[in-house]
Chain A
Amino acid sequence: MKTSRTTLLSTAAALLLLGSAAQAADDKIIIGGAMSLTGVQAPLDTPGVKGAEVAVKYLNDNGGVLGKQIEFINIDGKSDPVTVGNVAVELIDKGAQLIMAPCDFDFGSPAGREAQEAGIVGISTCASDPLYSSWSLGDKQFTLSMWNTTMGAVAADFAAKEKGWKTAYVVTDQFIAYTKSLSKYFVEQFKADGGEVILEDTYTNGDNNFSAQIARLQALGKKPDVIFLSSYGQDIGAIIRALREVGYDAPVLGGDAYDDPAMHEALGEKFGNNVYFVTHTWMGPEAHPDMPKFIDLYTKMHGEAPDTSFVSTGWDTIMLMADAIKAAGSTDGAAVAKALEDGQFKLLTGDLDYGTAEEGHVPNKAAVVLELKGGKPTFVGWRKPESIPAP
């Protein structure tokens, strides 16, 4: 009997707490973040959180949204899908009306599922695998990032149509859905553009040993026009160095995982040349007229300039949420989702137009192409593919 009484009491207490949370939510809008501040996902999620904090402060300083102040609560998802899901539940209990999900399908989808369950909108800051869609997660879930279909297609078009590179050597890291699907869509589009893939090879993340792959490439006896390398984290720099050292100086092409200043610096003046990558944005006025303003606000708030362009995905996610809430006139899940589907958004990470829930909430978005010159990234331009491979 004693236990059941305690249970009853705690349930009552929980209900009371819930009541007060819901009450408190009347004069403010709570956005919950399940972003990972520790673990393998931290390099991508931490910048998102920092960018989001800047956006929240900016909005609140300018009168909030619908006359309400925004409160952003992030609880560490610890780079563990189960924890990310639990954290999302906790946030929703605390009264979160929208959820910001981590920057990857594998790590972010548990938060999306919980948001869908609670009937509220969830947006991942930069999950780019097409699995992050309304098909798999539900009609109120979105990702701010372009899909890998776009990323792969932009890379392929840039190589085949713009640069006239006809033969490609493709290396795929078997690490996560992102690394695998990016290569897949590149190859599909590259072949459709009339290019030829002379060799496809695989790599295991963390090996830091690329000699067997190089031996196979050497055995082929011919050099590719372009090397497409889909890897993740530190391994990208290690592989590029390994290729360059043995004399493969063809241009290297890749996705947003290349958007990492430490990798650029590690390649340095000697190896950081002739590397191109497709990513979300460029931290300069060429990408968006508001970019300098954002960098300025960010620097004031965090005391240092952003060290990666991924900070703008956090800012954009909050701004996108704010725009949708304004258009919907409320934070109701269905209304905000409708506003996101209907609206067109001009973001730091490019113009964004979502497909309907039936179309998987496909993010129709442009991508930025950057080039590494002497270890420093330079802006090539915005690109939007005319056609993209089917996911």
Chain B
Amino acid sequence: MTFTVQFLIDVLSLGGAYALMALGLVIVYGILKLVNFAYGELIMVAGYAMFLMGGSGLPWLVMAGVAVIMAVIAGIATDYVAFRPVRAKSVTAVLITSFAFSTLLQNAALLFISPRPRPVPLPDIFSQTVTIFGAITPVRNLITIVAAIVLLALFAWLMRRTVLGIAMRAAATNFTMARMLGVPANLIITSAFAISGFLAGVVGLLWIGRIGTVVPGIGLEPLLVAFIATVIGGMRSMTGAVIGGFLLALIDTTLNYTLSQELLKFRDAFTFSLVILILLWRPDGLIKGPASGQRT
């Protein structure tokens, strides 16, 4: 029982974080059909915002709020700097500008702050534990699960019930048609980047909460995770991204628990073999999403 509970909490808390990361990446991809490679840097921005406010004595929740807002601003800036000027041109151009923006942000942190890790303030609750059915669990894992559930529910409501959400879904399905029907393209795209930044900011807090420090390259791992999760789940489907995130966490955690010491060294090889198998079985990912592919 103890083991089952521990395993479940591990999968759900890791999966919750992965799902939010994947969702933040796929919301931009869905509309633009372009991967935002500067996504990881949004998490970095949230982390450094926390570091810079570290000594200010503000309540933690206020600092966290400001950090998330900074990530949203950075997300919108990505649109204005890297995407909007070249959006209508070629895929290659946007690919390069998003890489360039990512490098620019990373090097700014490197130059103006430090290449060495910097500590991030964390509330006490992040290092407390509770015992559930005999399993000693860090409270931050439970916070991650709750945050994931709340944000996913909020997001589902936004996409299904609000005008903005419906317009975004329309744009993701057929952008040209949506524009002809009066959906303002720039507004939709900027909103997607803002939501992407918001998710990155929240994930950043939860992710950095596990680590306690921030470095310029902190966003690489989440970007990779988000990318793999969206590929498994289906690049065009938001549900798919969430499922992909949880599935990746399930694979990772199961391998962590079951592989022997000799094989554990090669865990990533096992993970990626499974990902390849899934893709051979479902080349478009688990969930297909709306049938369109036209880039705009």
**Residue A197 is within 8 A (CB to CB) of chain B in the complex:** no
Known contacts A202-B265, A209-B10, A247-B136; is-contact A237 B211 (Cβ 8 Å): yes
**Residue A1 is within 8 A (CB to CB) of chain B in the complex:** no
- CB <8 Å contact, B127 and A241: yes
Q: Report the nearest A residue to B54, measured CB to CB.
A: A265
- CB <8 Å contact, B3 and A266: no
Of the stretches A36-44, A85-93, A342-350, the one at the interface is A36-44
Which chain B positions have C-beta within 8 A of A308?
116
CA distance A265 to B127 in the complex (A): 14
Which chain B positions have C-beta within 8 A of A211?
6, 10, 253, 256
- CB <8 Å contact, B268 and A204: yes
Residues of A within 8 Å of B, CB-based: how many?
A: 42
Which chain A positions have C-beta within 8 A of B128?
245
- CB <8 Å contact, A263 and B127: no
Of the stretches B70-78, B107-115, B163-171, the one at the interface is B107-115
Mask: chain A, 27-70; 1 = CB below 8 Å from B; 0 = not:
00000000001111011001100000000000000000000000
Which chain B positions have C-beta within 8 A of A265?
119
**Residue A385 is within 8 A (CB to CB) of chain B in the complex:** no
Which chain A positions have C-beta within 8 A of B252?
207, 209
| Size bin of chain B's contact surface | 35 or more
Quick one: which of A200, A212, A233, A307 contacts B114, CB cutoff 8 A? A307
B258 CB to closest chain A CB (Å) equals 9
Q: Report the nearest A residue to B254, measured CB to CB.
A: A212
**Residue B276 is within 8 A (CB to CB) of chain A in the complex:** no
Please count the residue pairs between chain A and chain B whose beta carbons lie under 8 angstroms apart in the complex: 101
Most chain A CB neighbours (cut-off 10 Å) among B136, B211, B257: B211
- CB <8 Å contact, B221 and A206: yes
Quick one: which of B6, B107, B138, B215 contacts A234, CB cutoff 8 A? B215
Which chain A positions have C-beta within 8 A of B261?
200-202
B174 CB to closest chain A CB (Å) equals 38
Mask: chain A, 255-275; 1 = CB below 8 Å from B; 0 = not:
000001111011100110000
Which chain B positions have C-beta within 8 A of A215?
3, 6, 257
Which chain B positions have C-beta within 8 A of A271?
127
Q: Report the nearest A residue to B140, measured CB to CB.
A: A245
Known contacts A43-B115, A245-B129, A260-B117; is-contact A234 B207 (Cβ 8 Å): no
**Residue A380 is within 8 A (CB to CB) of chain B in the complex:** no
Which chain B positions have C-beta within 8 A of A37?
110, 115
Q: Report the nearest B residue to A215, measured CB to CB.
A: B6
CA distance A77 to B232 in the complex (A): 35
B132 CB to closest chain A CB (Å) equals 13
Which chain B positions have C-beta within 8 A of A297?
none
**Residue A174 is within 8 A (CB to CB) of chain B in the complex:** yes
Query: 9 extra interchain contacts, Cβ-Cβ under 8 A, other than A38-B110, A204-B267, A241-B212?
Result: A42-B110, A206-B221, A209-B256, A211-B6, A215-B257, A234-B212, A245-B138, A266-B212, A308-B116
Interface residues of B, Cβ cutoff 8 Å to A: 3, 6, 10, 14, 107, 110, 114-120, 127-129, 136, 138, 207, 210-213, 215-218, 221, 252-253, 256-257, 261, 264-265, 267-268
Complex A-B: 25 CB contacts under 8 Å? A39-B217, A42-B110, A47-B116, A202-B265, A208-B210, A208-B221, A209-B210, A209-B252, A209-B256, A212-B257, A213-B256, A215-B3, A215-B257, A234-B213, A235-B211, A237-B213, A241-B212, A245-B127, A245-B128, A245-B129, A261-B116, A262-B116, A266-B117, A270-B127, A307-B116
Interface residues of A, Cβ cutoff 8 Å to B: 37-40, 42-43, 46-47, 174, 200-202, 204, 206-209, 211-213, 215, 233-235, 237-238, 241-242, 245-247, 260-263, 265-267, 270-271, 307-308
